[in-house]
Amino acid sequence: MRNYLVLVLMAALVLCAIPGIATAAAEFYVYDLKFGSTGPFGVAIDGVGNIYVTDIVNHRVQKYTANGSFITKWGNDPGSADGQFIYPFGIAFDNAGNVYVADTSNNRIQKFNATGSFIMKWGNGPGSADGQFNGPGDVAIDNAGNVYVADTSNNRIQKFNATGSFIMKWGNGPGSADGQFNNPRGVAVDGAGNVYVADSINNRVQKYTANGSFITKWGNGPGSADGQFYNPVGITVDNAGNVYVADLLNNRIQKFAANGTFITKWGEGPGAGDGQFNVPCDVAVDATGSVYVTDHYNNRIQKFLFVPVCVTQPNGGETWIQGSNQTIRWEYFGDIGPTVDIAVMKGSNLLATIPGVPVGSGGTGSYNLTLPYNALLGTDFQVRITSTSNATYTDASNNPFTIGPAITVISPDGGENFMQGSPQTLKWNYTNTPGTTVKIEAMRGDTVLAVITPATAIGSGGQGSFNLTFPYLTPLGSDYRIRITSTTYPGCTDTSNAYFSVIPNTSASITLVSPDGGENYLQGSTQTLKWNYTGTPGTMVKIEALRGETVLAVITPATSIGSNGSGWFNLTFPYNTPLGSDYRIRVSSTVYPAWNDTSATPFTISPAITVVSPNGDSYPIGSILPMGWTYAGTPGTMVKIDVIKGSSIVKTLIGIPIGSGGSGWFNVTIPASTPLGPDYQIRVTSITYPACTDTSDLDFAIW
């Protein structure tokens, strides 16, 4: 590859070793959009705003709209035939819309129409004779159609007419004297015919007349100060005569007046973010003042809009406090009119406009703003400055700033553990005078649980506090916050940054002793429920019966907690109590329900009546079927007997005496019509208490 391309690769290596390249100060150019092109190097713009880019990796030219939409391309694999390229670098247009390409490694200039059709070529190098080239790096066209070529490795500028006929040359380097060059890599012509050369290795720009007479120079690098260069490459001139330079190893664009006076700069890097560069190789300006930059190692072209006003404060990252005095600042360039409008935005929403503010003087302006105490809070605010004379002259904060509360919750602010019933001190700070009183609310998640106080003194000396005893009834949880709000300015508010927890008060406890799991209680039986307690969890307890996790019944809403650390309650289980093995008892303080205890595991309720016969026997037709049962307590005086086959009742006997002394008996002769089978049972049920019932444990047979 030619020396020219080697220098680009070396530039990237050098760049990596340069710490802390300076970043732009006032940015009058703002990022607009980007579009892709592998290996972009040179860029030029035609009379209707189309963008042409030399793609050195793919050895071609690509054409785009002003917004980056692809139009066409020409050139293919590397070659030297007409219309082919080997590492095309510079590109330019004449007034007729013809395209000139510096076909660098073919050592020639090729001329095309706007659609890429080949017209002609010249140069037969490498060589140093008139009209020959050695690595031509760039090309420029004046208003008369004359063609200027940066003959890079020959360290000279050559001038031709539109048909490629040699006119003249200048430069006798390599050297650093006025009029000498060391790798001139960019060339541009202004409307008056003056020629500007990016003298890369000398880290300067030189200006000449159309006949090559030296006029001036600027840049004394390598360096990164304003007006210094580190390997300048691309160069162009806008319609007003301003000069733009692609300062390659500083990863920036610099803008100068025609005499070399520094105007502005933008870009930083190396980086891949919007507005950053990684080896910017060339620059072009359209008729509207928009700037296009070939961001070589990022494989993209970036477009920037000319914005002669720039917000400098707030410009991102600041925090403004409600009620505070703040200064909005801006810089401006040239004449943008006598006044500006100031807009305050939250996200994409316009909150307020301050119209007709004087623009300032000497290129800077400012406006003092007192932020209302009711100002919205958030982290997504920006300020926009717009000329009232030209709405296109506008700029906004580069990044959002924050508006914070004038009241700040200090405690609890997240992570604390507060016990039920414990006294705590809520604390806050405030700035300036956001009213005289505040409202305090307790929140769970984002929901207000309770208003702790509708109004209490805000405090003094910028600090306030409130003593709060958390009720014993406060639900347990780890998602609590406190919110403090000015009663005068409801928008002036703050909430705990993170959650705090309400935990059980360990100063007292209740422990259920019996039943605690595994017991078997008969319907109708009387049992003693027992518990122990510590501390002073009130004087009364509520006792509940549970099945699983569901409260079946409140046994008593309030009974004495007991004395000397223990209590008891006699409970007679009704004969109608449903049978089951999933019962538990819960004992709770009536004053502090969080103090409670439940049976560790379930206990069982068993029937007061138990079938003892038949239970797995066998009986022939015509024999006596003896039906017997036992019972506990007094589950009524009469029972009902069901004879069951499979799952069907085949006979019911009603009004059978329950018996005496805890047992009952009833005999029946098995009729001849009785169906035979091994799947018979009997069920005995109290007529008074239908839930008091039992069925044979085992099937019996009739044969």
As a whole number of angstroms, the distance between CA 50 and CA 45 comes to 6
Q: Supply the DSSP symbol for 8.
A: H
Cβ atoms of residues 605 and 566 within 8 Å:
no
- Burial code (b: 16+ CB inside 10 Å, e: under 16) for 159-173 equals bbebebeeeebbbeb
Q: What's the token pair of residue 369?
A: 């703003």
Phi, psi dihedral angles at 446 (to 5 degrees) = -105, 10
Is the bond into 280 cis (omega within 30 degrees of 0)?
Answer: no
Q: Supply the DSSP symbol for 334.
A: S
Per-residue model confidence (pLDDT) at position 471: 86
- Burial code (b: 16+ CB inside 10 Å, e: under 16) for 498-509 equals ebbbbbebeebb
Q: What's the token pair of residue 414?
A: 């997240």
As a whole number of angstroms, the distance between CA 178 and CA 219 comes to 13
Q: Give SS3 for 646.
A: coil
As a whole number of angstroms, the distance between CA 195 and CA 149 comes to 11
Q: What's the token pair of residue 612?
A: 């003892």
Cβ atoms of residues 538 and 559 within 8 Å:
no
The count of other CB atoms within 10 Å of the CB of residue 263 is 17
Per-residue model confidence (pLDDT) at position 590: 93
Q: What is the pLDDT of residues 381-400, one digit of tens each?
A: 999 999 999 998 899 998 99
Read off the amino acid at residue 336. Answer: I
CA distances from 224 to 15, 23, 221, 249, 633 (A): 12, 9, 8, 9, 105
Closest by alpha carbon to 617, among 683, 672, 681? Answer: 681
The count of other CB atoms within 10 Å of the CB of residue 95 is 12
Per-residue model confidence (pLDDT) at position 108: 98
493-495 and 477-486 as β-strands: parallel, antiparallel, unpaired? antiparallel
Per-residue model confidence (pLDDT) at position 504: 84
As a whole number of angstroms, the distance between CA 335 and CA 117 comes to 44
Burial of 648: CB neighbours in 10 Å, binned 0-12, 13-18, 19+:
exposed
The DSSP string of 268-285 is -SS--STT--SSEEEEEE
Cβ atoms of residues 426 and 495 within 8 Å:
no
Q: What is the pLDDT of residues 78-128, one digit of tens each?
A: 999 999 999 999 999 999 999 999 999 999 999 999 999 999 999 987 999
- Burial code (b: 16+ CB inside 10 Å, e: under 16) for 23-54 equals bbebbbbbbbeebebebbbbbbbbeeebbbbb
Phi, psi dihedral angles at 3 (to 5 degrees) = -55, -30
As a whole number of angstroms, the distance between CA 209 and CA 226 comes to 25
- Burial code (b: 16+ CB inside 10 Å, e: under 16) for 670-680 equals beeebeeeeeb
Per-residue model confidence (pLDDT) at position 37: 74
Contacts of 137 (CB under 8 A, 6+ apart): 4, 89, 90, 102, 104, 150, 152, 184, 185, 186
For 233-354, where are the alpha helices, taking DSSP H only?
none
Burial of 563: CB neighbours in 10 Å, binned 0-12, 13-18, 19+:
exposed
Contacts of 319 (CB under 8 A, 6+ apart): 401, 402, 403, 404
Closest by alpha carbon to 644, among 602, 623, 675? Answer: 675
Closest by alpha carbon to 407, among 502, 498, 482? Answer: 482
Chunked into runs of 10 residues, the chain (703 residues) has average pLDDT values of 38 31 51 90 96 96 96 92 97 96 98 96 93 97 97 98 97 93 98 97 98 96 94 97 97 97 90 95 95 97 91 95 96 91 96 96 95 94 96 91 96 95 95 96 96 97 96 90 97 96 88 96 95 91 96 96 96 94 96 89 96 94 96 95 95 95 95 95 96 95 95
Q: What's the token pair of residue 486?
A: 């000015």
Phi, psi dihedral angles at 11 (to 5 degrees) = -60, -40
